[in-house]
Amino acid sequence: MKTFKYIALLAITLFTLACEKDEDRVVLNSNPGTPDIITPAPNSAYVLTAANDKQTIQFVWKEPNYGFSASAAYNILADTPEGNFVKPQKLLSSVSYNDSALVTYKALNTAALALKLKAGEEGVLKVKVISVLAGDTLHSAAINIKVTPY
């Protein structure tokens, strides 16, 4: 009877150890980097008019490496050069796998006027991209662009 117990215990142990889980674990990269802006170039100048308000600016940024294919929410924000993005203007909000987005001159004009730039005069806006995934927010370095609103 003792031999039977040992054989049964050995069989149960081997059976449990032989089972492997065939699952892939997704692990968030602890240092994914930031969504730094590639274009537009710093200090790019845009003259906005009612006639060209459908024209667009392509923002391209370095996509953070989360360690897996992630659908993060990307926002493009604008503020004054003195501001620190406490009350920014949102130029665009997008949920995608993309590393770029188009912002219309009309959206840029609306933000510029809301941030108190004067119509017909060149002013400076500070812009940045933020990436939000699972409650974690990554900020790009801000760049300045020159804007003449209408």
- The tokens for 133 are 């995934």
CATH of the domain at 57: 2.60.40.10
Please enumerate in sequence order all residues whose Cβ is within 8 A of that of 72, keeping only pairs 6 or more positions apart, or say none.
64, 66, 95, 131, 132, 133
β pairing state of 45-47 and 143-148: parallel
**Separation between Cα atoms, residue 101 and residue 90, nearest integer Å:** 13
Cα end-to-end distance, the chain, whole Å:
95
Q: What is the pLDDT along the chain (150 residues), one digit of tens a residue?
A: 667 565 656 566 656 666 566 666 666 667 788 899 999 999 999 999 999 999 999 999 998 888 777 788 999 999 999 999 999 999 998 767 688 999 999 999 999 999 999 999 999 999 999 999 888 899 999 999 999 999
Distance from C-alpha of 114 to C-alpha of 139, rounded to nearest angstrom: 22
**Count of domains observed in the chain:** 1
- Six-digit token pair at 111? 């933000």
